[in-house]
Amino acid sequence: MAPQDENTHSADTTDHSSSRYRWTIVIAGAILTCVAIGAMFSLAIFLQPIAADTGWSRAGISSGMTLNFLVMGISGFGWGAASDRVGARPVVLTGAALLGLALSLASRATSLLQFQLTYGILVGLAASAFFAPMMAATAAWFDRQRSLAVSLVSAGMGVAPMTISPFARWLVSTYDWRTAMLLIGVFAWAVLVPTALLVRRPPAAPGGFGASSHHAEAAGMRVFDALRTRQFLALGLTFFACCAAHSGPIFHMVSYAILCGIPPMAAVSIYSVEGLSGLGGRLLLGVLADRFGVKPVLVAGLLAQALVISGYLFAHRLEQFYSLALVFGAAYGGVMPLYAVLAREYFGTRIIGSVLGAATMLSSLGMALGPVIGGWVFDASGQYTWLYVGSSIVGLGAVAIAFAFPPLPKRILPAQMA
């Protein structure tokens, strides 16, 4: 075999191996985000038992989640930048070790302030180590089927309410809330650490060429310059408003359903239906975005989210909650991974971790508003009506901002760049 043929054969073998392993990255990312985000959001399940056991206010307990999101926002940018430098594996390994420790410490808290600091700061710091680095790593592994791939990784968050939340509810029913939270921390260690070891850097593109013209332009762009562009402004503000709209309804869904007369376990099942629907929404919107473009699919998903949030004001029976949960979960779950696709398309792979981390920081600020505002609304009025009204209005604002997205760069095939 001629040397050129040997090189070609070697390249083909490498490409085939990489093509197979990129789906391992997707599976690992889905597991990591499922356990990490599921463990964090399990506070929604612990809210009522903690309040009943300790006498702490719902607003006070919920503010632990608000701190959680604030810390996630700040540290998410740092974790994303770190993944650009050292790769995703060291970042998610660190996050895995820290998450188990954080949950263990929070389960031993003896005062509201101690709980807010341990759960809010440490869990937020740990959980932010997964989303931006794994979404960035997955986007870097894929040139084709990118929307589907990152949607599958994000689907881990959709699976979380169907797995971690019922698991947490069962633990709380079987043990006290402190033991249950401690066991979730141990579970996080057992699953996250070995899964993180599967994460690898993507292979270099043949000839150093990217799949689209903007990669060459973005090659010399600094992170600071990228964050000042119109593209990032539209991306970050839409992400912020989207998360500000759905965070309160998601976090307080179980408590709201119980307030409407739904039994506690059935109320948790509504949360699980949202998660299952979110999984389907991620797959559906990911496929649609690959076919019709990211922007129109994103706008449609945001509009559906805003409308269905207001629909919860008229729900009083379990079947009504289920119907709304199917649409709500598909909408907010489906749009979340599309922001990573937009970041990859606008800025390429070299600084995607930093850019996505910065966008995630803004989204985390949005997520931080819902839990504490919802808790404050309930403590002040004894109901959640104004939470859902306000969230729906903010959701419509996200739709308006999404229309400001600049056109995506045109793709140029490697042969055209030669």
Take residue 369 and report the two structure tokens written for it: 């508003």
Which residues does 412 contact at the CB level (< 8 Å), separation at least 6?
Answer: 212, 213
Question: How confident is the model over 8-16, as a mean pLDDT?
Answer: 46
- Tokens (6 digits) for 195: 């899964």
Lowest-confidence segment of 81-85, 155-159, 194-198, 249-253 by average pLDDT: 155-159
Q: What is the pLDDT of residue 410?
A: 53
Q: 4-18, 130-144, 164-178: which range is least confident on average?
A: 4-18
Domain membership flag for residue 382? yes
Specify the residue for token string 């990217």.
Answer: 210
Does pTM top 0.85 for this prediction? no
Judge contact between 336 and 157, C-beta under 8 A: yes
Task: Quickly list H helices, 206-229.
Answer: 213-218, 223-226
Q: Is residue 3 part of a domain?
A: no
Alpha carbons 381 and 369: distance in angstroms, whole number: 18
The number of folded domains in the chain is 1
Which range is least confidently modeled, 53-57, 99-103, 154-158, 250-254?
A: 154-158
Measure CA of the first residue to CA of the last residue in the chain; give whole Å: 27
- Calpha distance 175→45 (Å, rounded): 14
Instruction: Let me know: does 81 contact 88? Beta carbons within 8 Å.
Output: no
Range of the domain at 273: 25-202+211-408
What percentage of the chain has pLDDT greater than the value 90? 24
pLDDT exceeds cutoff 60 at 218? no
HEC assignment per residue over 119-166: HHHHHHHHHCCCHHHHHHHHHHHCCCCHHHHHHHHHHHHHHHHHHHHH
Q: Which residue has the higher pLDDT, 30 or 66?
A: 30
**Residue 17's pLDDT band (cuts 50, 70, 90):** low
Cα–Cα distance, 82 to 168 (Å, whole number) = 32
| Distance separating alpha carbons of residues 124 and 378, to the nearest angstrom | 24
DSSP class per residue in 349-372: STTHHHHHHHHHHHHHHHHHHHHH
Band (pLDDT 50/70/90 cuts) for residue 105 is very high
Cβ-in-10-Å burial (0-12, 13-18, 19+) of 310 comes to middle
> 113: domain CATH number?
1.20.1250.20
Per-residue confidence (pLDDT) for residue 298, from 0 to 100: 92
pLDDT at 167: 87
| Residue 4 belongs to some domain of the structure | no
**Residue 244 resides in a domain:** yes
What pLDDT does 206 receive?
Answer: 46
Q: Are 325 and 274 in contact (CB under 8 A)?
A: yes
Distance CA 136, CA 203 (A): 14
Among 366, 368, 388, CA closest to 377: 388
Dihedral angle at the C-alpha atoms of 183, 185, 190, 193, nearest 10 degrees?
Answer: 180
Q: Is residue 9 part of a domain?
A: no
Total residues found in the chain within this entry: 418
406 pLDDT above the threshold of 70 = yes
Q: Is 135 a member of any domain?
A: yes
Task: Give the pLDDT score at 154.
Answer: 77
Please report the pLDDT score of residue 286 as a whole number.
83
What is residue 184's predicted lDDT score, i.e. its pLDDT? 92
For 272-325, the pLDDT digits (tens) are 788 778 878 888 888 888 888 888 999 999 999 999 999 999 988 898 999 999
- Within a domain: 49: yes
pLDDT of residue 10: 43
With pLDDT > 70 as the criterion, what percentage of the chain qualifies? 88
Query: pLDDT at residue 365 above 50?
Result: yes
Q: Which residue has the tokens 């709201």?
A: 256
Mean pLDDT, rounded, for 255-267: 85
Q: Which two tokens stand for residue 155?
A: 């689907």
Of 163-177, 228-242, 350-364, 391-405, the one with minimum mean pLDDT is 350-364
Which residue is listed with tokens 């003896």?
Answer: 110
Distances (CA, A) of 398 to 234, 245, 280, 403: 10, 8, 22, 9
Say how far apart CA 131 and CA 37 lie, in whole Å.
9
> In the prediction, which pLDDT does 182 show?
93
DSSP 71-122: HHHHHHHHHHHHHHHH-HHHHHHHHHHHHHHHHHHHTT--SHHHHHHIIIII
Over residues 401-418, the mean pLDDT reads 59
12 found inside a domain: no
Does 334 score more than 90 pLDDT? no
pLDDT score for 183? 94
